[in-house]
Amino acid sequence: MRTGIRWKLSAAIAMVGALVAVALSLVVHNAARVSMLDNSRDLADERIQVAQRMYESGRTQSFGVKVDDPTIPGDLLAKVKEGRRATYVTDRPNGVPDIWAAVPLKDGRVLSLHTGFTDRNTDVMKDLDQALIIGSIAVVFGGSALGVLIGGQLSRRLRKAAAAANQVAKGETDVRVREAIGGVVRDETDDLARAVDAMADALQQRIEAERRVTADIAHELRTPVTGLLTAAELLPPGRPTELVRDRAQAMRTLVEDVLEVARLDGASERAELQDIMLGEFVARRVAAKDADIVVRVIHESEVTTDPRRLERVLFNLLANAARHGKPPIEVSVEGRVIRVRDHGPGFPEELLADGPSRFRTGSSDRSGHGHGLGLTIAAGQARVLGARLTFRNIRPAGAPENMPAEGAVAVLWLPEHAPTNTGSFPLLPA
């Protein structure tokens, strides 16, 4: 059973309070009972001595004194036979103690006194037990309330820290966990927050350094690759020349993709917004890319977006479907939503769980050839547009998860207003 730290702390304090209260109550109850019994035995001892003097002087006995009482307890009688004056306590079936006192007489007989626990003592014990029960209940409830108060404060700080850490994980690098939890009390949560902030700063610096190195390497490769491609155009026609040109072009495409990923990671890209009819735009672009792909415009709508970046996202999704999926490839436009579906083996589970990742193409049945940059660029451009790009596999209704997929669907959700989810600000055309 999953419970919050507030209730766990409250339950722990309540349990400890209950144990302490019960232990103290038992100690106090037993100490009070022993004290009262000692007082009763002392009083019985004084009375039996007075009764002894009166008996030996021949005066009349009083206050329940008996001679050779047949009901006297055996242990007490044994002590008296030894010539000792003694007191003895027995318990009745109802738990009320009986007080006995006995003393040997000069004529060999035994003088005894039998009294019960006084009503006053019984009432005092009852009142004491009642007070102890009430006090124990108050301690338990007070401890629970204190646990809820302390645990609630700690739980609140931890929830704020978790929310801030999730924001950092989503790429909001300006969020700091320590500032999010706030408060004037300094405890272990502050140490945890500072550690998370330090880790986030270190990771951000490392990612930024890797991005700069990647961009610098790609930029430096751009010139020699362009020269290589130009030189390949001068080679005489033939199969070797075609192979050289093909590999040089692939290298140039890779360099351009790496540069684009580096720019997208730097969050410096800006969307240049225009008003377009989405269905008409997608139909024209897809027809120019591949006339065999059928586009269905379910509902036409006018959107404000960056046409160049939208085209880049659309073409990358189509290229991924053509490379890793199987025909037919279907494109549908419904309002602000664009869907690209193929009938291949589906997206790998890693991509569905973590999203696109550069230089990772997924499982072997959908990996094919490539560097995993196409969907990474599509996701980055979608962020610049303020859009949301999701991926899922198509399975029959009620089919188990381990059943092979019947196709993959990439869905682009365009925003209703200007981009707001990327930290970039759109540049409206003049």
Whether the Cβ atoms of residue 76 and residue 88 lie closer than 8 Å to each other? yes
Task: Report residues of the chain scoring pLDDT below 70.
Answer: 1-4, 6, 59-63, 94-95, 117-121, 171, 183-185, 187, 211, 214-216, 218-220, 222, 255-257, 259-269, 354-355, 357-372, 397-403, 417-430
Residues 6+ apart with CB under 8 A from 26: none
pLDDT digit string, tens, across residues 345-371 = 888 877 777 667 655 544 444 444 444
Token reading at 385: 């547009």
Q: Dihedral angle at the C-alpha atoms of 209, 215, 217, 218, nearest 10 degrees?
A: 160
Q: What does the alpha-carbon distance between residue 57 and residue 51 come to, in Å, rounded to a whole number?
A: 10
Q: Are the C-beta atoms of residues 355 and 372 closer than 8 Å to each other? A: no
What pLDDT is attached to residue 365? 44
Angstrom CA distances, 350 to 29, 309, 319, 368, 379, stand at 66, 26, 20, 16, 15
Q: What is the model's pLDDT at position 304? A: 87
Residue 66's beta-bridge partner residues? 112
Q: Are strands 330-334 and 294-299 parallel, antiparallel or unpaired?
A: parallel
Instruction: Give pLDDT tens digits for 374-418.
Output: 787 788 888 888 888 888 888 776 666 666 777 888 899 888 765
Question: Please, which residues bridge with residue 103 across strands?
Answer: 111
Terminal-residue alpha carbon distance, the chain: 60
**Buried residues in 29-67 as b, exposed as e (16+ CB within 10 A):** eeebbeebbeebbebbbebbeebbeebeeeeeeeeebbe
Whole-prediction pTM: 0.51
Sign, CA dihedral 43-49-50-54, equals positive
- Nearest Cα neighbor of 177 from 204, 421, 205, 190 is 190
Longest dimension (CA), the chain: 152
Over residues 154-165, the pLDDT tens digits come to 777 778 888 888
SS3 content of the chain, % helix, strand, coil (to 5): 55, 15, 30
